[in-house]
Amino acid sequence: MVDFTLTDEQKSLRELAHDFAEKEIRPVAWELDKDGTFPRAILDKAFEVGLMNTHVAEEYGGPGLSYLDGCIIEEELSWGCSGVQTSLGCNGLAAAPVFLGGSEEVKKEYGTSLTQDGTLASFCLTEPDAGSDVSGMRTRAVKKGDKYVLNGSKCFITNGSYADWYTVYAKTDPDAGHRGISAFLVRKDDTVIVDKKEDKMGQRASNTATITFNDTEVDAKYLLGDENKGFKLAMMTLDRTRPGVAAMATGIARAAFEFATEYSKERVQFGVPIAMHQAIQFIIADMATEIEASRLLTWQSAVLLDQGKRNTLQSSHAKRFAADTAMKVTTDAVQVFGGYGFIKEYKVEKLMRDAKIMQLYEGTAQIQRLVIARETLMPRRVEEPASV
């Protein structure tokens, strides 16, 4: 029997995350958006109460929460502000390749740094000429003795300006396309330069930067996985993080839905609240259905991971649908508000701006459709283990 009834522990987690979002994030979210301020104080508080690094296993000092647990938390925090959640959750994306491909020594070293020292980490895959086309990356890693030397730039790097270390993808065989990519764990030092902080349309509370590596030396023990197998590691990482992105999109959509629903009960036109008009009722009804569907797809993709199964198709379903839903619901919420929705004094316009990135990062909506088409036309068994 399929049952998505939450346990008492999961209900408590959801309550903790919602309470944190309501009291710590929502009161400052719109000011953070206005000024583009990095929410360091909120991250510190989230670290203290256990809402960061949730997927770090107990043996490395973390709580060892399930992927479903993580999605429950991420939806609530994104209901508060998805920009803050993007900053808060970035460690999970950066650390996933370490726990998938690192040695036991490296896992202990960097798991501990996350959970005990409160370090921040970034995931460095995208380049100016290599976004969806990962094989086009130009960052190079050349082995010299027992070290690799990295040179190149990565763009759109979340928490890039504040990270203490990075997981970096670079070409070790420049002529082999995606089969020549390797992954490395790179400490920040004087050779790692923050070139640019992006001024974004939405999620302005998250820091997004260009990072350049200039003859950056990396000990060979910080090669993650096998040499030239970094592309597979990146794809496995994204299978694990896309449910969280879908949960974030669901949280954004839910926030917009709640604002629109409440406003529709208060705004009077033609002598009655606009919620009494069928045109508005249909918009609200569609929002409600699409949010429910987004959450169920998200939870399904997370539960498969928790069961040790491959979730490539389901995570792409969830990420694609939830991201598109967030964009549609926030746009419709602005419509419900009418002209007021277009004014910054009203909060739905921020949610609409925030929603757009959900269709872009961690695989665009078009890339998700390519994955879905490939998995549908050339399916593999869902029971395959989700391991290296």
Task: Enumerate domains of the chain plus CATH numbers.
Answer: 8-115 (1.10.540.10), 121-229 (2.40.110.10), 231-377 (1.20.140.10)
Q: Does position 385 have pLDDT exceeding 70, yes or no?
A: no
**Cα separation, 130 vs 253, whole angstroms:** 30
Q: pTM for the complete prediction? A: 0.95
Structure tokens at 73: 């938390």
In this prediction, residue 173 carries a pLDDT of 97
**Cα separation, 118 vs 96, whole angstroms:** 16
Q: How is residue 383 annotated by DSSP?
A: T
What's the mean pLDDT when you consider all of the chain?
Answer: 95
Q: At what angle do helices 312-337 and 278-306 cross, to 10 degrees?
A: 160
In this prediction, residue 210 carries a pLDDT of 98
Residue tagged active-site, from 24, 74, 290, 362: 362
pLDDT, mean of residues 125-154: 95
pLDDT, mean of residues 264-283: 97
State the pLDDT confidence band at 379, using cuts at 50, 70 and 90.
confident
In this prediction, residue 387 carries a pLDDT of 40
Q: How many residues are given for the chain?
A: 388
pLDDT, mean of residues 336-340: 97
State the pLDDT confidence band at 2, using cuts at 50, 70 and 90.
low
Count the helices and strands in the chain (H runs, E runs). 11, 10
pLDDT, mean of residues 199-207: 98
In this prediction, residue 381 carries a pLDDT of 55
362 is catalytic: yes
In this prediction, residue 17 carries a pLDDT of 98
State the pLDDT confidence band at 106, using cuts at 50, 70 and 90.
very high
**Cα separation, 156 vs 207, whole angstroms:** 9
State the pLDDT confidence band at 382, using cuts at 50, 70 and 90.
very low
Q: Does position 83 have pLDDT exceeding 70, yes or no?
A: yes
